[in-house]
Amino acid sequence: MNKRYFWVWMIIAAALSIFTGELVTFMMLFLILLTLNEIHSIVQKFHEDWKRKNSGF
């Protein structure tokens, strides 16, 4: 996911949480999405390394 879109969606979610009073839910969602985004980038790096190592065959 593009980082720009991630932050746009987080701002939209923050605005909605302020209006609805669900700040704790927003904080938990933010932490979960931030963690998943980091896991995704790590898996992409592993996949690129794997492709590079197996391209010699």
Radius of gyration (Cα) for the chain, nearest Å? 17
34, 7 Cβ separation under 8 angstroms: no
**pLDDT tens across the length of the chain (57 residues):** 577 887 888 888 888 888 888 888 888 888 898 898 899 999 999 999 999 998 865
pLDDT at site 44: 94
Torsion of CA 11, 4, 29, 27, to 10 degrees: -50
Q: Count Cα atoms within 13 angstroms, Cβ side, for 57.
A: 5
pLDDT at site 5: 82
Tokens 């933010």 identify what position? 30
Query: Could you tell me how many helices (H) and strands (E) the chain has, helices first?
Result: 2, 0
pLDDT at site 1: 54
pLDDT at site 56: 67
